[in-house]
Structure 1
Amino acid sequence: MTSTIFERLRSGGFEQALFSHDTETGLRSLVVSHDTTLGPALGGVRMYPYEDETAALEDGLRLAQAMTLKAAAAGLDLGGGWSVIIGDPARDKTEALLRAHGRFIATLGGRFIPVNDVGTTQADLKVIGTEAAPVCADGDPSPMTALGVLEGIRACLRATGGDGDLRGVRVCVQGAGNVGAALARLLAAESAELLVSDTNARRADAVAQTVGARVIDPATAVVAECDVLAPCALGGVVDDRTLQELRCRIIAGGANNVLAAPGHAAALEARGILYAPDFCVNAGGLIFLEERLLGHDNARAEHRVRQVGERVATVIEHARRSGVSPTEAALSLARARLRPH
């Protein structure tokens, strides 16, 4: 078991995977640091009832690696990391448990900066912040993530022969959480035709009523007929099964790790589906968080987030010029910043 973990860390270029257990609160958690070449690792605190610690570690590793690429591709001076608490947030989350996790994060001496994610809130991060510093608990990054995705979708529309106008463009927003709901509102303001799905039917209905969208079955949302599929929930949306059934021409959304395997990038390209690499198109929230850490205002953050579309356009142009997929092009640009100077 141990040798397998070390091999996984080595092969993925990870710096650390730290585990913590607190008997009094029942805390079982971990923090992964992937790459801090460019700066301290910033990443989410995800609380989820994983099947076991192996599943929790694998999720943390994948998400930490995605954060490194996202920060590098966005031109930020931050590294990538992630934190996971094993447990059901509805049943197991307590102030004492969050404080214990904060003490664990504090042992890293600022090399990991946490932000809320699935199963945690900004209020939870403030509790964690009573024990650790710095934390990102001031300002919700979700609207900025959504804004960056919107600009990325525009870039993809232009790259496929359009002018970036979203009027009448059918977009399927898969996931009606914070990012998905914010994206749906932005798209509705642009007169897009909206489909919305979520495993929480009440949440999907609420968003749909607000923006005038049509609710569809979450089991089939990924393969809905649309112009743009915008995954905004958990990852692994494009896998061996869904790849053959997709009925969209563009994939661009707020979710991390949209592709279940690296080879799916080339497979999408072969099918003529333009995929905006997730770590490029959903970087708006991370850009916003860096701006907050630097003490800058929302106006400056919004200006930088709107440039996500330009970065996506650059990636697509580079991909076409080089004869590779957009994902390969984005990885090349990100890795160029991560090479030792």
Structure 2
Amino acid sequence: MYTSQETPEHEQVHFFHDRKSGLRAIIALHDTALGDAMGGCRMWPYTSFDDALKDALRLSKGMSYKCALAGLDIGGGKSVIIGDPMKDKTPELLKAMAESINQLGGRYVAAEDSGTSVADMKAMQEYSDHIVGTTVQENRLWEQNDGDPSPATAYGVLMGIQASVMHKFGKESLEGLNVNIQGLGHVGFRVAKHLAEAGANIYVYDPVPERQARAVKELGAVAVSASDVVTKPADIFCPCAMGAAVNSTTCEQLDVAIVAGAANNQLATSEEGRRLFERGILYAPDFVINAGGIIEVGMGRKGESSDAVNSRVVGISSTLLEIFVRSDADAIPTFEVAELMAQEVIERARNKSIEPRAVAARVTNPQDKTALAL
């Protein structure tokens, strides 16, 4: 039944179905060697269950690597709710999701993600202690936003773009650079704002016309089409929408020097990462550059100082520079360097554990309380 090549390396994959509320959800725990898993709760109208499962598996794996390279003692997890957030989200569904998270006993902690909001997380907190990202954090380098990790994510992406420009062009300023931005959601719009304020020329696309119009009006952006945001010559392509922005087709269409953006799973497959490297396009690995949000939420949950949180998000730039240098020295793609570095961190943590946290990969069916090995 389960054909994904990614499944066996996951510690646990849980399926939930609550008939009363209509909830259909997946929670995937990739690796908890560094600590209990944390990751966003996404709601999306997936075309099939297999698509939802694939997304949960890839996203949770990315969270493991993201936390490892961000220096967090947090494992990688992700939850996805199958449904249209504009039509299917109800208080009863959010309650059922919170109660589903409770069944994991704290091994997974959720925050907002695509299709969910801080308000949704606050609603879920009424039924679960394993929800984060709902408390205002003060004295950050980025805007306060009621616990929403998006501002921290966007600021970290800015740090990553600056590091990429420094490595590729040898310049500190973003003034006059041309940037094609794909996606103007909670994070994407903030990235666009940072870049506009830094003096970059921004060309934007979002399938929601109102978002494009806002960027044109407030940021002086130039609106472009879905195809032009990929094919238009520029210095940087900045994917901030859903995954697989760089696929077998778009990889060949890109006419840029750098790919650096906020989206998760930007590469459809590893082949695209290798092809970018062959073409001389510098790629900032997504799970490194977009770690600001998990840093904000993870460190904020433990009450760490704003100075410490700010420093860790700014440190995304130095982590990327290390990856770029190693990529050049070893002549291997940046995404491979980043994955190797993350795996080294996780393996060291696993070897230090007195009692291994990892368990055999399992799939739990909460309806009959049984577990089946994959």
Q: What TM-score do the two structures reach when normalised by structure 1?
A: 0.96
Q: Kindly provide the CA deviation profile for residues 232-264 of structure 1, in whole angstroms up to 9, marking residues without a partner as x.
A: 010101111111111111000000000000121
Q: Cα RMSD (Å) of the superposition? A: 1.3
2-side partners of 1:78 and 1:280: how far apart? 15
1:262 aligns with 270
Q: Trace 1:227-242 onto structure 2 (pairs within 5 A).
A: 227-242=235-250
- The one-letter code of the counterpart of 1:56 is A
Count of equivalent residues: 337
2-side partners of 1:178 and 1:208: how far apart? 16
- The one-letter code of the counterpart of 1:295 is G
Q: CA deviation at 1:195?
A: 0.9
- Aligned pair in 2 of structure 1 residues 125, 172: CA closer, same or farther (>3 Å)? same
1:110 aligns with 106
2-side partners of 1:160 and 1:22: how far apart? 50
Q: CA deviation at 1:223?
A: 2.1
Residues 70 and 312 in structure 2, CA contact (< 8 A), matched pair in contact too: no
Q: CA deviation at 1:292?
A: 1.1
Q: Trace 1:152-231 onto structure 2 (pairs within 5 A).
A: 152-231=160-239
Residues 40 and 79 in structure 1, CA contact (< 8 A), matched pair in contact too: yes
Q: Trace 1:128-143 onto structure 2 (pairs within 5 A).
A: 128-138=124-134, 139-143=147-151
Q: CA deviation at 1:8?
A: 4.5
Q: Provide the secondary structure at the position in 1 that maps to 2:87.
A: helix
Q: Which runs of 5+ in 2 are unaligned?
A: 135-146, 352-374
2-side partners of 1:209 and 1:308: how far apart? 31
2-side partners of 1:111 and 1:314: how far apart? 32
Q: CA deviation at 1:297?
A: 4.4
Q: Kindly provide the CA deviation profile for residues 100-121 of structure 1, in whole angstroms up to 9, marking residues without a partner as x.
A: 1100000111111101111110
Structure 2 residue 37 is matched with structure 1 residue 46: no
Q: CA deviation at 1:134?
A: 2.5
1:64 aligns with 60
Structure 2 residue 21 is matched with structure 1 residue 25: yes
2-side partners of 1:67 and 1:222: how far apart? 26
2:32 aligns with 36
Moved runs in structure 1, 4+ residues, more than 4 A?
Answer: none
Structure 2 residue 92 is matched with structure 1 residue 84: no
Q: CA deviation at 1:298?
A: 3.9
Q: Kindly provide the CA deviation profile for residues 126-165 of structure 1, in whole angstroms up to 9, marking residues without a partner as x.
A: 1111122221132111111111111111111111132220
2-side partners of 1:283 and 1:198: how far apart? 23
1:287 aligns with 295
2-side partners of 1:279 and 1:66: how far apart? 6
1:74 aligns with 70
1-side partners of 2:230 and 2:109: how far apart? 33
Question: Percent same amino acid among aligned pairs?
Answer: 39
2-side partners of 1:170 and 1:296: how far apart? 37
Q: Provide the secondary structure at the position in 2 that maps to 1:89.
A: coil
Q: Kindly provide the CA deviation profile for residues 247-295 of structure 1, in whole angstroms up to 9, marking residues without a partner as x.
A: 1110000000000001211110110100011111111111111121111
- The one-letter code of the counterpart of 2:319 is R
- The one-letter code of the counterpart of 2:53 is L
2-side partners of 1:294 and 1:157: how far apart? 33
Q: CA deviation at 1:218?
A: 2.1
1-side partners of 2:6 and 2:316: how far apart? 31
1-side partners of 2:162 and 2:133: how far apart? 30
Deviates more, 1:246-255 or 1:318-327: 318-327
2:364 aligns with none
Q: Trace 1:310-329 onto structure 2 (pairs within 5 A).
A: 310-329=318-337
Q: Kindly provide the CA deviation profile for residues 172-222 of structure 1, in whole angstroms up to 9, marking residues without a partner as x.
A: 111000111111111111111111110111111112211111111123312
Q: CA deviation at 1:299?
A: 4.2
- Aligned pair in 2 of structure 1 residues 172, 8: CA closer, same or farther (>3 Å)? closer
1-side partners of 2:267 and 2:231: how far apart? 14
Larger RCO (CA under 8 A, 6+ residues apart): 2
Q: CA deviation at 1:45?
A: 0.9
1:300 aligns with 308
Q: Which runs of 5+ in 1 are unaligned?
A: none
Q: Kindly provide the CA deviation profile for residues 30-62 of structure 1, in whole angstroms up to 9, marking residues without a partner as x.
A: 101010110111111111111121111111111
- Aligned pair in 2 of structure 1 residues 167, 8: CA closer, same or farther (>3 Å)? closer
2-side partners of 1:279 and 1:137: how far apart? 19
- The one-letter code of the counterpart of 1:148 is G
The structure with more helix, counted as a fraction of residues: 1
1:100 aligns with 96
Q: Provide the secondary structure at the position in 1 that maps to 2:105.
A: coil
1:119 aligns with 115
Residues 171 and 228 in structure 1, CA contact (< 8 A), matched pair in contact too: yes
